[in-house]
Amino acid sequence: MLEAITWFFTNLALAFYNFGYAILNPSSWLAWTQGWETVEDKQSLMRLVYYGASVEFFFVLLAIFLIITVIGYFLRDFLWGIVRGLEGALNLIGRVAAWAGLIMVLQQIMIVFLQRIFRVSEISIGPFGTTFTRDLSWYSEELKLYNAMIVCLCVAWTFIQGGHVRVDLVYSAVSHRTKRAIDMAGTILFMIPSLVLIWLFSWFFFWRSMITPATSASDQLDRLLLKARAARWNVETIGFSPNGFDAYFLFKVLILLFAATAFLQGCAFFWRSWLEYREGEMSAGRYLDKDILGDEDAERVAEIH
């Protein structure tokens, strides 16, 4: 037990050093963006792969969360500013991503017309002089990407708007402070840990489709630096059909974006619940940027959910 406590606080203390070192030495993990010619460039990428889902990175995030929470205890306006900033950014991301639904519908209509009426087998796009030609089946399978964008990037926005369906057995019958306590406990015990696990699994799942030799969560930093000598880009472009959509690595990117945005929303929700718990029932929904639906029935349904 004592060893676990010592390990925890040691890593928490080292988080400040690790964060400062990463900020002051960006070339150690970003040099690969400038080129891919030397072993040092490849090693910088391997450091990014390792630290992106490492214990060190987790404790850096934990330290930032604790610092903001402690400052917010004394400066409520500062914490409200953090909450409003996060919710505003996540609302913007969700509202922009939601337009993928319209694009998906228009593209499906275009595919049907071109295939059934004009008997076109492929589409070429070249607005900037470079022609991009793909079979209609490629564009048809691409529709799944738009759907994935809506699912992954609109989760946090839907959470802020109160649009997720919830099973309410006790919540509605308890007091304001009890509700906020339930929200905080649910966020810390269930929401954030599950998103951390999703990130850990998704991180290496993504990089296995981008570079070779393959990386795994069990690889230590020294082993990854050795692999850097043979590292090369190997972006996965395998489709489920001969002429089908072949950029499935984008789905793995969306999984990471889902985990990141939902994690930020979890933090914002915890801080909002904490502030509303401290300030009382009058602060419920304070500064909450909710969409105006313009339909009484739709508004009533949203309130029920």
142-152 pLDDT, tens digit each: 999 999 999 99
Residues 52-108 pLDDT 10s:
999 999 999 999 999 999 999 999 999 999 999 999 999 999 999 999 999 999 999
- Bridge partners, residue 134, by sequence: 123
Q: What percent of the chain has pLDDT over 90?
A: 66
pLDDT surpasses 60 at 284: yes
pLDDT at 303: 61
Question: Which residues have CB under 8 Å from 197's CB, separation 6+?
Answer: none
- The HSE-up count of residue 203 (CA atoms within 13 Å, CB side) is 20
pLDDT surpasses 60 at 213: yes
pLDDT surpasses 80 at 179: yes
SS3 232: strand
Confidence bin at 299 (pLDDT 50/70/90): low
Question: Which residues have CB under 8 Å from 272's CB, separation 6+?
Answer: 83, 87
pLDDT surpasses 90 at 120: no
pLDDT at 70: 97
Helix (H) and strand (E) counts for the chain?
13, 4
The pTM assigned to this predicted structure is 0.92
Nearest to 157 by CA among 294, 16, 291: 291
Separation of alpha carbons 233 and 179, rounded Å: 49
pLDDT at 305: 53
